[in-house]
Amino acid sequence: MSYFIGIDSSTTATKALLMADDGSVVGVAASSYGFETPHPLWSEQQPSLWWEATVESTRQLLQQTGISPSEIKGLGLTGQMHGLVLLDADGRTLRPSILWNDQRTGAECDEMRAKLGKQNLIAITGNDALTGFTAPKILWVKNNEPTIYAQVKHILLPKDYVRLQLTGAYAMDKAGGAGTQLFDVAKRDWSAAVLEALDIDPIWLPPTFEGTAVTGVITTEAAAATGLRAGTPVFGGGGDQAAAAVGTGAVEEGIVSLSLGTSGVVFAAAEQAIIEGDGRLHAFCHAVPGKWHLMGVMLSAAGSLRWYRDALAPDVSFDELLTPAENIPAGSEGLLFLPYLTGERTPHPDPLARGAFVGLTVRHGQAHMTRAVLEGVAFGLRDSFELMREAGLASVEQVRITGGGARSSLWRQVLADIFGVGLVTLNADEGAAYGAALLAAVGNGIWPDVPSACRQVIQVTGRTEPQHGETAVYDQRYAIYRALYPALRESFHHLSM
């Protein structure tokens, strides 16, 4: 058999996954690391940690599986998006990487809107300026660390720093490039207009590649460090969300991926660049060649249920907490929950948004509150579906659900009823690293294209269909839910002062 490795450099660990050419997972290894918060709202990481963890995880994987390096036909890379890696002319890091969850760049986001115009910025890049993206981080270094900025010769993303160590090549995948907010998303490459407006030298940016393209090969030095064979090709891969979508088969229009973890991500593939006019959805290039995607992000999805359990019923298991809620009717008898416990991203990009129970009466007990939390998160996720439809996404035929929240049959039913579309669970749960390995296998010719690979290796293991009577109830409640944030926004902001 032939084998492929997917390497996922996340915020807290690097995972190496070995996949056989029939799509089966042979082994997984991971090495963890930390990140620094030198000031409030800052988040930084030393790039050397990703490389050290890649070496350690790859060696663990080879030892654990006993697979010969000569049988490994390629690597696919994925990892945290948006992080800024600045290098000098010799490829040395100039400062710690500023990560995706760093919040220091509010002024630089305003600067981007002023220089390009908000609507023009969205039309080109597919997104409004947000503190998490790479472009405002570059401006922050320019504005605050001019000595470092004067030495910049190369700009990379975290996984592409790993690529550099593996291959010696400066390269980036198109999904990751789109996440820098320096891309013309429709043209799938760097935007000359954005670079000129922000005075960023295009020479600093690497060439970009589709997710299945070869970007370089393992060098002799990298082979000695990792145990891999020199000359093994390294493929483009993709940012973590795009690669994870490949791993769940969300690579064709009509199939939507829903990740119900601490945060919630709604991910829909598209055949063309679809841009939501106000930037309330993220629009990026997909890791699948020639495709794009829309993405909505909820900051506290399953995190809302965990907060609720920990705060109000800390000695109760999730199963014990959820079972009584099965007997509460749809709509929780007039009780609604707003899940904005850590602010919100989609559809309200508001860090000062707050959570709330609305409609409490003496009739409501704990089971009502539990069900209201499940329903409130589902309503918030429906916001992303509604925005996608309004932006022009043709249809939603199936929702593929992953993450810890997917284990609850009650929550799956609530989600299906509120969305009005069927939910399915899958045999694949290895996330972005598995998607990166699939991209490498397609690039190697194991399958003719990414959709063909996904159709062959990803199987549906369970289905939850909407109950139309419940859907009608939820449609009425959803209209009330949507009116709550605008009504409470001013109060939320006053409470945050």
Q: Is residue 456 domain-resident? A: no
Claim to verify: residue 276 and residue 357 sit in the same structural domain: yes
Q: In whole angstroms, give the CA distance from residue 16 to residue 34.
A: 18
What is the total count of domains within the chain? 2
Write the CATH number for 220. 3.30.420.40
Claim to verify: residue 197 and residue 294 sit in the same structural domain: no
Closest CA relative to residue 418, chosen from 342, 489, 344, 339: 339
Claim to verify: residue 164 and residue 276 sit in the same structural domain: no
Ramachandran sector of residue 491 (left: φ over 0; alpha: ψ -120 to 50; beta: rest) = alpha
Instruction: Answer for the pair 300, 340: CB distance below 8 angstroms, yes or no.
Output: yes
Claim to verify: residue 172 and residue 33 sit in the same structural domain: yes
Claim to verify: residue 280 and residue 259 sit in the same structural domain: yes
Q: Is residue 459 domain-resident? A: no
For residue 251, pLDDT beyond 80 = yes
The model carries a pTM of 0.93
- Which pLDDT score is estimated for 41? 86
For residue 361, pLDDT beyond 80 = yes
Claim to verify: residue 304 and residue 220 sit in the same structural domain: no
- What confidence tens digit (pLDDT) does each residue in 283-324 have? 999 999 999 999 999 989 999 999 999 999 999 999 999 999
Q: Is residue 325 domain-resident? A: yes
Tell me which residues are annotated as active site. 240
Q: Residue 387 belongs to what domain range?
A: 250-427+467-497
Give the alpha-carbon dihedral of 185, 189, 193, 195, to 10 degrees.
120
Q: Is residue 205 domain-resident? A: yes
Q: In whole angstroms, give the CA distance from residue 151 to residue 97.
A: 15
In angstroms, what CA-CA distances link 257 with 127, 192, 202, 400? 20, 32, 34, 5
Closest CA relative to residue 281, chosen from 271, 264, 293, 263: 293
For residue 497, pLDDT beyond 80 = no
For residue 428, pLDDT beyond 80 = no
Claim to verify: residue 93 and residue 225 sit in the same structural domain: yes
Q: How confident is the model at residue 260 (pLDDT cuts 50, 70, 90)?
A: very high
Claim to verify: residue 277 and residue 298 sit in the same structural domain: yes
Q: Where are the alpha helices (DSSP H) in 249-365?
A: 302-312, 318-322
- What confidence tens digit (pLDDT) does each residue in 2-13 have? 999 999 999 999
Q: How confident is the model at residue 488 (pLDDT cuts 50, 70, 90)?
A: very high
Per-residue pLDDT, averaged over 441-461, amounts to 96
Helix (H, G, I), strand (E, B) or coil at 472: helix
Q: Is residue 262 domain-resident? A: yes
Residues in contact with 405: Cβ distance below 8 Å, sequence separation at least 6, in sequence order: 260, 261, 264, 301, 302, 305, 377, 411
Q: Is residue 269 domain-resident? A: yes
Q: Above pLDDT 70, what percent of the chain?
A: 100
Claim to verify: residue 149 and residue 23 sit in the same structural domain: yes
Q: What is the DSSP string of 374-429?
A: HHHHHHHHHHHHHHHHHHT---EEEEEEESGGGG-HHHHHHHHHHHTS-EEEES--
Per-residue pLDDT, averaged over 145-168, amounts to 98
Per-residue pLDDT, averaged over 138-154, amounts to 98
**Rounded to the nearest 5 degrees, what angle is found at the Cα of 137, between the Cα atoms of 134 and 143?**
150
Among residues 243, 271, 287, which one ends one of the domains? Answer: 243
Claim to verify: residue 238 and residue 272 sit in the same structural domain: no
**Rounded to the nearest 5 degrees, what angle is found at the Cα of 55, between the Cα atoms of 164 and 225?**
80
Among residues 219, 243, 267, which one ends one of the domains? Answer: 243
Helix (H, G, I), strand (E, B) or coil at 216: strand
Q: Is residue 78 domain-resident? A: yes
Among residues 222, 243, 264, which one ends one of the domains? Answer: 243
Claim to verify: residue 239 and residue 329 sit in the same structural domain: no
Claim to verify: residue 272 and residue 195 sit in the same structural domain: no
Per-residue pLDDT, averaged over 366-373, amounts to 98
Q: Is residue 448 domain-resident? A: no
- Which pLDDT score is estimated for 73? 98
